[in-house]
Amino acid sequence: MRRVLAITVAVVAALTVAAGCDSGTPDAPTAVPKSPTAAPSVSAGPSAPTSTGVPPATSTSPPTPAPIRKLKVGAKGADVLALQNRLTELGYWNGTADGKFGGATQQAVYALQKAAGTGRDGVVGPKTRKILDKGVRPKAKSTSGRAVEIDLKRQLLMLVDNGEITQIFNTSTGSNEYYEQEGETFLADTPSGKFRVSRQIDGWRHAPLGLLWRPKYFNGGIAVHGATSVPPYAASHGCARVSISAMNWLWKNDALPLKTKVWVY
């Protein structure tokens, strides 16, 4: 009888030890009893070995990285700041880098996309990131002194010093469509040629065809001027539009003084 009692005690002790081991999934949370009187669960015992006697290997594959987000107007963060710094490094004017994707950054992305000859949507996706990585920049035609070059095909306005492009802007020139004014029909074109800045107005010019901000005239009534709308395509009556902030920068830095060469091609 004593021997049977000893065997019974040994079995109970073995069951108690098994119940104290972690038999759940390694990452599963520990279960909490509903009340102090809840009975602990008892393990049925160790799992049967596999046919090879070796436990299954745990996967060690790294987690899939999150996709890089597209950057567009309204985006904020370190990736936007990095984009702005890269644009500045390449010469695409986008104001002060502040980590906020606003109108100035969109204008710079337009210019970058135009220089590369890709779609002009102002959004930084995979294709535009590759353009940034390659460091795509347009090439100047003038070789000496300060010049403003306006590329009609790519719709770019560039500041050039001794053959080196220092700043690149998105611009919108003549739409090449006909319009009527005072009963006459005119073509909204920006003639090509070599000119010079001949006069300027430091403020709004209420012209017959609209408002011009701080215009720099180089060919009669055709000027480089600031505008509230500068799309990534030709849309003006003949002038070369840039953003209001870009025009303010050009004035502040005296980048287009009188007699500056203006090459349109």
pLDDT tens digits, residue range 150-164? 999 999 999 999 999
CA-only gyration radius of the chain, Å: 35
Per-residue confidence (pLDDT) for residue 39, from 0 to 100: 41
Residue 104 token pair: 């100035």
Local confidence band at 66 (pLDDT 50, 70, 90 cut-offs) = low
How would DSSP label each residue in 183-246?
A: TEEEE-----EEEE--EE-SSEEEETTEEEEEEEEEETTEEEEEES---SS--BSSSEEEEHHH
Give the per-residue pLDDT at 57: 55
pLDDT band at 61 (very low <50, low <70, confident <90, very high): low
Cβ count near 102 (within 10 Å): 17
The arithmetic mean of pLDDT across residues 84-90, rounded, is 98
Listed range (65-69, 96-100, 219-223) with the worst mean pLDDT: 65-69
What six digits make up the tokens of 88? 């500045």
- 5: pLDDT strictly greater than 60: no
Across the range 79-103, mean pLDDT stands at 98
For residue 128, give every residue at least 6 positions away whose Cβ sits within 8 Å of its Cβ, in sequence order, or none: 109, 112, 113, 118
